[in-house]
Amino acid sequence: MSPIDERFALAVALMAGAAYGCRLVGYLIGRVAGQSPAVRRVLDALPASAMAAVIGPALVGADLLELAAAAVTAGVFLVSGRFLASLSAGAAVLVLAPGLIA
Amino acid sequence: MPTSPPLPSDSAPLTGFAAARAGAIACRSISASSFFFGLLYGAACAALGIATGLAALSSLLVFSGAVQFAMLPLVQDPLPAAAIAISSVLISTRLVLMGASIAPVMAPRPWPARLGALAVLTDGAWAATIAERRPVDRFAFFVGAGGSTLVLWVAGTTLGALLAALADPALLARLPFTGMLFLVLLLLMVTRAARLAVLPWLIAGAVSALAAQVVALEAAVLIAVAVGGGLAWWRGAAPAGGR
């Protein structure tokens, strides 16, 4: 197993534990506690904040092409509301634009 | 949003395999999207030098595109294990809410079946099951919806990793950033579908970007999530029209 595979295997174990753990904890909460508006409000806000917290530093470190791809992805989604079309448009910018520029 | 083909009004409730098949059909557009994302994810893994089998195994075990895409850029040397664990939990917190919501669907089944079914809990399967209004065995419907998405997600990952060997290395070097594109889209989609306030996550993103300049990424993520969650709580607790 290569060094990257060893690191990735550990990352997979951490990711799988986190994802399944959250599913299980949610199910157990649903069984015993129901859903209060206060809990729902925090649970709604945390994932979006976590995603933004990962995106923020990545965008700061991104090059112009990556920023353009992100802008196209977001723009297409905001206009069309179509997930797959938006991702395709952003990915197209990412992989096709360098060839067009050259 | 998943759609369900109509059943004749005099039809008997769907059970067993028929219910699972109905779930797979209702979730087909999301499953197709998963296949496409899987292609990108598999190719992005290959671009990093990750073995095809391991990439497929990650899709099988984690089954969360948001987590998998977001964590790819973090597979560095040394591995920031704490950042990966914390970020994975935080990004997966919506699974907590979906798990709580889906609890009544699981109730009639034995524990091993419930624990197994939880492994296929994703946004798409949850949305399709919650939206289903026909007389149907909702547990089997849910497993069919989630299971079919999982199969296509793993298949897409495997195919993407295999096809990446034929691609231009310069192109492959660009692919890991598709994880960020996916995350941007997921954030916008969740914000729109759940009518979330934009300000808390916008502030969280800015705080994380600034904090990452001076502290480790895991600390920056924690600080940003605390700020975003706190802001959302504060806005929710405020009198109407106050903020």
Cβ separation B181–A77 shorter than 8 A = no
**Is B51 part of any domain?**
yes
Chain A residue closest to B87 (CA)?
A50
- Domain positions in chain A are 1-34
Domain span including residue B116 = 16-175
Which of left, alpha, beta for A34 (phi over 0: left; psi -120 to 50: alpha)?
left
Instruction: Check residue B131 and give its pLDDT.
Output: 75
Best mutation target among B28, B87, B93, B142 (most A Cβ atoms within 10 Å) is: B93
First to last CA, chain B: 31
> What confidence tens digit (pLDDT) does each residue in B102-156 have?
888 888 789 999 999 999 998 778 878 877 778 889 999 999 999 999 999 999 9
**Is B234 part of any domain?**
no
**Is B148 part of any domain?**
yes
Chain B residue closest to A10 (CA)?
B81
Instruction: Check residue B3 and give its pLDDT.
Output: 45
Instruction: Check whether the bond before B78 is cis (ω within 30° of 0).
Output: yes
**Is B57 part of any domain?**
yes
State yes or no: ipTM above 0.90: no
**Is B45 part of any domain?**
yes
Please give the full DSSP string across chain B, using - where no structure is assigned: --------TTPPPB-HHHHHHHHHHHTHHHHHHHHHHHHHHHHHHHHHT--HHHHHHHHHHH--HHHHHHHGGG--SS--HHHHHHHHHHHTHHHHHHHHHHHHHHTTS-HHHHHHHHTT--HHHHHHHHH--SSB-HHHHHHHHHHHHHHHHHHHHHHHHHHGGGS-HHHHHHGGGHHHHHHHHHHHHHHHHTT--HHHHHHHHHHHHHHTTTS-HHHHHHHHHHHHHHHHHHHHHSPTT--
Instruction: Check residue A35 and give its pLDDT.
Output: 57
Domain count, chain B: 1
Instruction: Check residue B158 and give its pLDDT.
Output: 96
Question: Can you list the alpha helix ranges (DSSP code H) found in chain A?
Answer: 3-32, 37-60, 64-80, 83-101
Of A11, A18, A52, the CB nearest to B201: A52
pLDDT at B1 over 50: no
Place B221 in a pLDDT band, splitting at 50, 70 and 90: confident
What residue ranges of chain A have pLDDT lower than 50? Answer: none
In angstroms, what separates the C-alpha of A63 from chain B's closest C-alpha? 11
> What confidence tens digit (pLDDT) does each residue in B38-90 have?
988 998 899 888 999 999 999 999 999 888 987 887 887 788 888 888 888 88
Cβ separation A12–B81 shorter than 8 A = no
Chain A residue closest to B187 (CA)?
A48
Residues 6+ apart with CB under 8 A from B134: B4, B7, B14, B22
Q: What are phi and psi of B173, to 5 degrees?
A: -60, -25
Chain A residue closest to B32 (CA)?
A84
Q: How far apart are CA A14 and CA B62, in angstroms?
A: 9
Best mutation target among A40, A51, A96 (most B Cβ atoms within 10 Å) is: A51
In angstroms, what separates the C-alpha of B21 from chain A's closest C-alpha? 23
